[in-house]
Structure 1
């Protein structure tokens, strides 16, 4: 693992969203750097089961940043989160890509982990790790 010099300045999942409730919890996380009960309630109220799964992934340290990608480890596969989007089937088939407030739990987990400093950094290329594991 290594210290990411851009950890506090670069977010794969932006704070810039039009929805006030979504922007509020992201801003509060960025300001407090921790998951408070009120923020957890906001995320779960706003995102339901996706929010719950995201918080679980963060608490289990399943959000990993490599040199080339941010990856969220799911129960059956790993999903690449990039520029606020994800490679999971939920993102591909169930969510409106033109609505920035709709996001899968992998994107939510990345947003939370980035803002509270819970990213697991690896000084290697994910493409090399993925090829090795496949």
Structure 2
């Protein structure tokens, strides 16, 4: 069975079948991740991917996220899924800059 990310790339985007598979496999986390990827809430900076959540922005790097869900459970959260989906579908926003510089300004 192909990885979901390969299916997205091979299909050239998020087909209804792939969306259904994501929702079946990841349930509520999959639905939130698809909404974030569809809604332009995934940003690629020079240093990190950022996902805008309900109450904050979360740094995602590989299989790590700064959200409380990930830190508490230590497993894949919907922010990580959103980044994976956005990368495979090419649907993330690009920001030419360093998130760490922006973070310093807003904190």
Relative to the length of structure 2, the TM-score reads 0.93
Which residue of structure 1 aligns with residue 92 of structure 2? Answer: 119
Q: CA RMSD in A?
A: 1.2
Which residue of structure 2 aligns with residue 81 of structure 1? Answer: 60
Q: Which has the higher contact order (CA 8 A, sep 6+)?
A: 1
Higher fraction of helix: 2
Cα distance, 1:131 vs structure 2: 1.4
Question: 2:81 aligned to 86, 108, 112, which one?
Answer: 108
Q: Which stretches of structure 1, 4 residues or more, deviate above 3 A after TM superposition?
A: none
Relative to the length of structure 1, the TM-score reads 0.75
Cα distance, 1:84 vs structure 2: 1.8
Matches of 2:3 and 2:99 in 1, distance apart? 32
